[in-house]
Chain A
């Protein structure tokens, strides 16, 4: 199965707002499989379709230590947010950069699963952080956007330099 290319900040395509998924079919599941392989190989704990330049509302995560608990969220909505937590985050689209972001401590999410069947879950800790991080991608948002202007411009310069060297 092919590994997909991951868009890197500040690629403007990361700013795209993703479209809802109409049908959960085998084509979409094939994309999920490819994304899962890409995420595990990276390695990452979450990946949004936006990051592989497919602009549909699809997110996959796996925050398990055993790396065998893939979760799929299609057309996700955050129904409830509660509390606050700060966590150091990184992003496969912003390689090598880690910084602290404050997000809701607990969230309630509704989405469709891999089968197209709707489900609801409540997430906290790492899973809550990861889901909020990935759902942001679907809105064209990257975790860097939460940082100060100064940090943003430093990160941008650093990644642009690295992109030119390649």
Chain B
């Protein structure tokens, strides 16, 4: 039956609903998740998977579905293990089922629509032959929901939403805090900005945000959480460098290194340049930004342009100073080394899918090599701040202990309000490790 014209749903409304159709968002989310299952990072996967969605709100919806699926980690796979008679090898189909199950678990009251949209999504993904399977799996879940949920509830990967090996390590390293640490990884992170204090005070910027109707909360000397989050181009003066997006925990780095005008400063492993620009904003006048990946080095240059402060960007490998170093030693070095990123999972939930149990050890070898190499270019009387965004001791305390044992002359300098150097992740900041090491004059 068709409705008479005066009652007919608004035509524009229908067109909008089509562009925002749930099944399109499911489909795009499934493609992104499938790439993560295949070992790609979400950031890389997303641009390819989401370019079919014309409407930015649809892209944002697809991102939410993918994030929810990646965050939940263990639940959908555990359910599928019980719902499928044989494993699915098609990663896109598998990812679609995970996306749909994650959404169904959260919104069982819309079960009919969600199942219908998941079946539509299977068609849209060229998995038409599997639409019966998608329908059957999701309906079987709904039919046996309580039994299934009870059966998986006690599985650690379901309960704590991380891989088993990860849970074991966090528990061993942080016996008092492990549950809180794992739980924080599920929270949507705030949009945290760093106010460029050269352009005015933090409080003045907060007032500027308020004048635009944007709420914010103080998280640090220059750190504000903008709540609710807005696209960065809506932040006053963003393009002119009045503020940058940076987690409050990451904002600690430049101040802990404490640069003074005239000092020669090295930011090793600089991309994307958040800490580089911060060092400059805090008064560094002679700064070398080193980055191994030429494409990522370009992002450092872009950020420098935006903030309008000069630094020398060099493409080079921190473990091989002979290939890039001009022979002049540095007074201060920021060594923000490559790591598992286990402290920033709430911003990058794909990390817990991509990392393998051997990864902390693999990163540790590279971290050790970087520490050794940078020590050789540090001036006597100088200092080096070692930074990771990890919570695994193999990459943090154990690296520094090992380094100190090899370099008896090195002095571990205190970081007063971060005992032990480990900033565990909380709702207000990501997880970081800091160690400040001095070289005697």
| B228: Cβ under 8 A from any A Cβ | no
Q: Is the CB of B2 within 8 A of A92?
A: yes
Within 8 A of A (CB), among B6-36: 7-9, 14, 17-18
| B206: Cβ under 8 A from any A Cβ | no
Q: Would A68 and B9 be within 8 Å (CB), given that A1-B123, A33-B119, A45-B2 are in contact?
A: no
Residues of A within 8 A of B168 (CB): none
B122-138 interface bits toward A, Cβ cutoff 8 Å, 1 = contact, 0 = none? 01100010011001100
Q: Is the CB of A134 within 8 A of B2?
A: no
Residues of A within 8 A of B136 (CB): 26
| B110: Cβ under 8 A from any A Cβ | yes
Q: CB-nearest residue of chain A relative to B114?
A: A68
Q: CB-nearest residue of chain A relative to B3?
A: A45
Total contacts A-B at CB 8 Å: 68
Residues of B within 8 A of A58 (CB): none
Residues of A within 8 A of B327 (CB): none
Majority SS at the chain A contact face: mixed
| B200: Cβ under 8 A from any A Cβ | no
Q: CB-nearest residue of chain A relative to B133?
A: A26
Residues of A within 8 A of B358 (CB): none
Q: Is the CB of B9 within 8 A of A46?
A: no
Interface residues on A, range: 35 or more
Q: Is the CB of B113 within 8 A of A70?
A: yes
Within 8 A of B (CB), among A100-155: 114-115, 129-130, 133-134, 143
Residues of A within 8 A of B9 (CB): 43, 65, 67
Set A33, A41, A98: member contacting B116, Cβ < 8 A: A33
Identify the B interface with A (CB < 8 A). Answer: 1-5, 7-9, 14, 17-18, 110, 112-113, 116, 119-120, 123-124, 128, 131-132, 135-136, 139
Identify the A interface with B (CB < 8 A). Answer: 1, 26, 29-30, 33, 36-37, 40-47, 61, 65, 67-70, 88-92, 95, 98, 114-115, 129-130, 133-134, 143
Can you list 13 contacts pairing A with B, beta carbon distance less than 8 Å? Answer: A1-B123, A29-B132, A33-B119, A42-B2, A45-B1, A68-B110, A70-B112, A91-B2, A98-B4, A115-B139, A133-B1, A134-B1, A143-B1
